[in-house]
Amino acid sequence: MVRLNRIYTKTGDDGSTGLGDGTRLAKHHPRIAAYGTVDELSSLIGLVLAHGAEEPLAGILRKVQNDLFDVGADLCVPGEGGEKLRIQPVYTARLEGWIDELNENLAPLTSFVLAGGKPIAAWLHLARTTCRRAERHVSALRAEEGGESVNPEALRYLNRLSDLLFVLARVANDNGKGDVLWRPGETQA
């Protein structure tokens, strides 16, 4: 278990931050942007939970929040030094199981879905778009570093998580019945 004796260390006052392997990087480095956005996503999920998400959404989201700390830990330790922290295929498989199970009860889609409906659904759509941003950051990091220092399973997990968050938003909107649908050209004169 992690134990934090002090909240501030003053080591980041120069604009750098430490990775899990002891390496120091600038706070604007793509790796920091990647796991920082994963942390932001976890906070958004916390807002969904704080706004009264009910079961089964609440239980799923609590597990996802824990997974996101694992994703952040994975991204925080580049290369082989963090093998015990690596996201494994079982994480993504669990997301796929939830997606398949929840999607069975959803109203069929007849158009693209706009963010909205119930407040929890709107928060979930915001979490979904933040997840997509985290995915873009991880993808850019993999490209910049030649892929060797980024676990490809972390990228897969984030890709599938954005799908799950979309499905959960539809579940929160009365299993899709309360979805706000895109109507192409509706505002044209």
The confidence score (pLDDT) of residue 82 equals 54
Q: How many residues does the chain have?
A: 189
CATH, domain range 25-105+113-177: 1.20.1200.10
Asked if residues 77 and 18 have their Cβ atoms less than 8 Å apart, the reply is: no
Question: DSSP for the chain?
Answer: ----S-S--STTTTSEEE-TTS-EEETTSHHHHHHHHHHHHHHHHHHHHHTTPPTTHHHHHHHHHHHHHHHHHHHHS-GGGGGGG---HHHHHHHHHHHHHHHTTSPPPSSPEES-SSHHHHHHHHHHHHHHHHHHHHHHHHHHTTTTTS-HHHHHHHHHHHHHHHHHHHHHTTTTTTPEEP-TTTT--
For 47, the token pair is 């807002």
Closest residue by Cα to residue 2 from 20, 27, 17: 20
In this structure, are residues 44 and 127 in contact, taking their beta carbons and an 8 Å threshold? Answer: yes
- The vertex-132 CA angle with 168 and 136, nearest 5°, equals 160
**pLDDT block averages, 10 residues each, the chain of length 189:** 72 74 82 95 97 95 97 86 78 98 94 95 98 97 82 96 98 96 87
Residue with tokens 């979930």: 124
What pLDDT, in 10s, does the model give residues 31-75?
999 999 999 999 999 999 999 999 999 999 999 999 999 999 999
